[in-house]
């Protein structure tokens, strides 16, 4: 019953921790204890967004040791996001099997944990990985030193007038902390959009670095076949890179946006599929107009160009590079535009592919049902051989340009 009373007091901010006489905290404000491995006495937290990732930094007065956050003894530091998602989400860091782990609702969250200093712990993860929605949130931190879990289990879950009471344990347990003591910090999870990519290295390439990563590329769309290709890629869980014809983009703007949303890459394949091998100012216009059409449709400026017919030359490449793009040829060509049959396309691609391959195919410019039917067997066979499908920008190691949506 005492825990209940204390919790209600705290929630209404009518009484302080010090006035709850049964509390085991020392001196009201200080509640540092020294269980095995040191003291978990958080003095501050900061919260921000670095590109796509949320960054949370915890600072303590003493070293944040692995023992303090040992998962098997209930050690954890949790940041609780209220109001940002339909349900309250807690993102916690613990230590298990010699590794820091980020966990949310019992599931591992992909991200990184580092210690800039021994008194600090820094988490980075993408909001979606922890099922955090975009928007304003009330944020607070609950930390439990390893060894508190046995006592914690006895605490009743208390609610008062619908408010979530999270601080009863603060008054009860010497090794549990809440930051701030009452209420929450105001924070925002931003939406992030990809606005472009940054080319580097060779001005023209026909393959990526050797290794197990490969890229599927589709030319001459968007077309009536493209949405079926996107569905198939979603089903297979792999991305592709689409080299788009500029004059076909505006009528298919929503299709191009869904390419991006699915994690595919979009790229420039000239305005009207002209032979641009001789270069010259007309080539520059083709490049510029197509990138502008893609930007209007998606907000994204491409950094990859593929010359129609593979027709290229030094002048063209320098014009492509001057517009921030790399000229990309291919290392695997199944000649799918000749419609040789689905089996022939599959065996040609599978036979020619090795590490770093750039696979050429077409989702526009003619009948593409054979190419579409070849996609699933190609992906399954090459995955079985240990290959990983990535976008061309990933394959070439290009950075993305992104911005926060304000
Ligand atoms: Zn083409």
pTM over 0.95: no
Q: Angle, to 10 degrees, between the axis of helix 281-298 and the axis of helix 314-322?
A: 40
* Fold topology of 199-405: TIM Barrel (3.20.20)
Q: Report the separation in Å between the CA atom of 283 and the middle of ligand 1, taken as the mean of its atom positions.
A: 15
Catalytic residues: 219, 362
- Predicted confidence at residue 84, as pLDDT, reads 65
Q: Report the separation in Å between the CA atom of 147 and the middle of ligand 1, taken as the mean of its atom positions.
A: 64
Mean pLDDT computed over 300-318:
98
Q: What Å distances lie between residue 99 and 113, 155, 212, 221, CA to CA?
A: 9, 29, 27, 46
| Pairwise CA distance, residues 254 & 221, whole Å | 13
List the structure tokens of 406.
């304000």
Q: Smallest Cα–Cα separation from 184: which of 84, 40, 115, 69?
A: 84
- Predicted confidence at residue 406, as pLDDT, reads 67
Span 174-204, pLDDT tens digits: 567 788 888 888 888 888 888 999 999 999 9
| Pairwise CA distance, residues 333 & 340, whole Å | 12
Mean pLDDT computed over 322-334:
98
List the structure tokens of 9.
């007091």
**CA 316, chain centre distance (Å):** 35
| Pairwise CA distance, residues 349 & 343, whole Å | 10
Q: Smallest Cα–Cα separation from 267: which of 334, 345, 324?
A: 324
- How many helices (H) and strands (E) the chain has is answered by 10, 23
Q: Report the separation in Å between the CA atom of 254 and the middle of ligand 1, taken as the mean of its atom positions.
A: 21
Parse the chain into domains and list their residue ranges: 7-192, 199-405
| Pairwise CA distance, residues 266 & 328, whole Å | 13
91, 96, 98, 100: CA torsion to nearest 10? 0
Q: Report the separation in Å between the CA atom of 343 and the middle of ligand 1, taken as the mean of its atom positions.
A: 22
- Predicted confidence at residue 138, as pLDDT, reads 87
pLDDT at 78 over 70: yes
Q: Report the separation in Å between the CA atom of 291 and the middle of ligand 1, taken as the mean of its atom positions.
A: 16
Q: Smallest Cα–Cα separation from 144: which of 118, 170, 168?
A: 170
- Predicted confidence at residue 32, as pLDDT, reads 44
pLDDT at 15 over 50: no
Q: Smallest Cα–Cα separation from 268: which of 249, 248, 245?
A: 245
Q: Report the separation in Å between the CA atom of 392 and the middle of ligand 1, taken as the mean of its atom positions.
A: 17
5-9, 124-128, 149-153, 239-243: the lowest-pLDDT one? 5-9
Higher pLDDT, 35 or 194: 194
* Residue matched to tokens 């290709």: 229
3-state percent breakdown (helix, strand, coil) of the chain, nearest 5: 30, 30, 40
The segment with the largest mean pLDDT, out of 69-83, 162-176, 197-211, 392-406, is 197-211
Backbone angles phi, psi at 308, to 5 degrees: -55, 140
Q: Report the separation in Å between the CA atom of 56 and the middle of ligand 1, taken as the mean of its atom positions.
A: 46
């Amino acid at each position: 019953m005492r825990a209940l009373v204390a919790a209600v007091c705290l929630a209404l901010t009518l009484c302080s921790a010090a006035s709850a006489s049964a509390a085991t905290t020392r001196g009201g404000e200080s509640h540092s204890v020294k269980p095995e491995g040191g003291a978990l006495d958080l003095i501050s937290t900061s919260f921000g967004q670095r590109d796509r990732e949320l960054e949370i930094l915890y600072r303590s007065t003493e070293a944040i040791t692995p023992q303090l956050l040992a998962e098997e003894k209930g050690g954890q530091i949790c940041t609780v996001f209220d109001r940002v998602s339909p349900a309250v989400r807690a993102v916690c860091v613990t230590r298990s099997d010699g590794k820091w782990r980020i966990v949310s609702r019992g599931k591992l969250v992909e991200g990184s944990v580092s210690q800039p200093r021994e008194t600090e712990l820094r988490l980075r993860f993408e909001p979606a990985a922890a099922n955090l929605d975009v928007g304003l949130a009330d944020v607070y931190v609950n930390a439990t030193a390893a060894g508190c879990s046995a006592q914690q289990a006895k605490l009743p879950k208390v609610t008062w007038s619908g408010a979530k009471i999270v601080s009863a344990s603060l008054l009860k347990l010497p090794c549990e902390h809440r930051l701030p003591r009452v209420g929450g910090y105001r924070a925002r999870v931003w939406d992030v959009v990809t606005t472009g990519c940054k080319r580097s290295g060779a001005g023209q390439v026909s393959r990526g670095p050797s290794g197990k990563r490969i890229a599927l590329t589709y030319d001459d769309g968007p077309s009536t076949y493209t949405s079926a290709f996107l569905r198939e890629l979603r089903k297979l869980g792999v991305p592709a890179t689409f080299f788009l014809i500029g004059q076909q983009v505006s009528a298919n703007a929503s299709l191009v946006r869904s390419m991006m949303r699915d994690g595919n890459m979009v790229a420039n394949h000239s305005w009207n599929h002209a032979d641009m091998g001789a270069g010259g100012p007309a080539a520059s216009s083709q490049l510029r107009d197509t990138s502008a059409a893609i930007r209007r449709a998606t907000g994204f400026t491409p950094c990859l160009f593929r010359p129609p017919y593979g027709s290229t030359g030094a002048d063209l490449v320098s014009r492509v590079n001057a517009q921030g793009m790399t000229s990309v040829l291919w290392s695997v060509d199944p000649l799918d535009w000749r419609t040789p049959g689905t089996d022939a396309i599959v065996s040609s691609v599978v036979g020619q592919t090795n590490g770093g391959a750039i696979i050429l195919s077409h989702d526009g410019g003619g009948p593409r049902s054979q190419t579409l039917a070849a996609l699933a067997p190609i992906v399954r066979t090459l995955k079985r051989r240990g290959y990983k499908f990535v976008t061309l920008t990933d394959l070439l190691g290009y950075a993305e340009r992104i911005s926060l949506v304000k």
